Amino acid sequence: MGTTRGVACLLVAVICLSCAAAAAAARSPAARLHRHLKRFNKPAVKSTVPIRRTKKDDLLRASSMRRYGRKRHTTANPMSVNPTMLNEGGHQHAIAYVQGDKYYGAKVTINVWEPKIEQPNEFSLSQLWILGGSFGEDLNSIEAGWQVSPDLYGDNNTRLFTYWTSDAYQATGCYNMLCSGFVQINSEIAMGASIFPTSSYSGSQYDISILIWKDPKEGNWWMQFGKDYVLGYWPSFLFSYLADSASMIEWGGEGSARRATSRTSRWWTAPTTSRSPRGWAPSPSSPTATTCRTATMATGAPTSTMAALGGAPTASNSEIVTTIGM
């Protein structure tokens, strides 16, 4: 009897120790990392679409698991400062915009470059913003364009990206497919895919075209890439203000440099007037300038155009000369 009790006590002790070890293992950094990877890399739906897989190294580069795939800053308000060049917290913006109406879509053709990023936590991008609400905590934003972000992707490749938020980048939204929100329907192009070839200084130039418009029947915001690729949509229920229409459209570029250098101030040649949606090009005085013209009016460069769609929602096509790959 005594032996039996001793064995039973030993088994209970072993089981308790095993449970404690399992609980400790579940709380370990490796286990938390594994859970986050499973959350980001959900199984593909039956009609498969390409999804760029999140890797362990991607999460390890992030400042925190909660902030992975999210912007750390808000969209610059061109009405609050000199809109020819917006500088906030190490970020520089060059933005053209329209407001004062209800907008149901916008189109942009963006010159594509591969900027040299000196530090892992720096980035450069050129994009389109569809905005609703104020620039406080209620800002709704749909964004798309190209970016170079070693912090997010682990390399210096120029990549196609999307972003959305319904609360000024606080708790909602993310890049690409890193959270629920954007619904991809295209089976050929992955969000976060590399764009190639890219433009070269005094050499060949390459553009991408992006159209975002609001479906008048369902109210969803759709994204079209180039002439032939409707990539997917943002459901209307994600947003408050954008559930109806956009109140501002922005076209432009953004970059960050954690160190203050003279090169930072030469990333863009600013638009020629504060409210005229004109484009810009790499400054001739700066061979290392990284960001290019984004958009001009019809009187500008023929390969770089933009338009805001007011009134009845509509869609249109555009030419694309750049290919996309993982």
**pLDDT tens, position by position, 43-60:** 444 445 555 555 545 444
254 is an active site residue:
yes
Set 114, 122, 250, 254: catalytic member: 254
118 is an active site residue:
no
Separation between Cα atoms, residue 112 and residue 41, nearest integer Å: 29
pLDDT top residue among 131 and 84: 131
Give me the helices (H) in the chain, please. Answer: 2-26, 29-40, 56-61, 150-153
Angstrom CA distances, 83 to 87, 92, 93, 227, 281, stand at 10, 11, 8, 31, 17
Separation between Cα atoms, residue 213 and residue 219, nearest integer Å: 10
Is residue 144 within 8 A of residue 152, CB to CB? The reply is: no
Q: Provide DSSP, 37-79.
A: HHHHSPPPPSS----PPP-HHHHHHSS-TTTTTS-SSPPP-TT
Task: Kindly tell me if the per-residue pLDDT of 306 is higher than 80.
Answer: no
Set 143, 188, 218, 319: catalytic member: 143
Sign of the torsion formed by the C-alpha atoms of 132, 135, 141 and 147: positive
Task: Kindly tell me if the per-residue pLDDT of 263 is higher than 90.
Answer: no
The pLDDT-based confidence of 34 (bands split at 50, 70, 90) is very low
Q: Global pTM?
A: 0.66
Q: 14-37: b or e for each residue (b if 16 or more CB lie within 10 Å)?
A: eeeeeeeeeeeeeeeeeeeeeebe
Burial (CB < 10 A; 0-12, 13-18, 19+), residue 148, is buried
67-86 average pLDDT score: 57
**CATH 2.60.120 assigned to 49-72+88-325:** yes
- CA 139 from centroid of its chain's CA atoms: 16
The pLDDT-based confidence of 89 (bands split at 50, 70, 90) is low
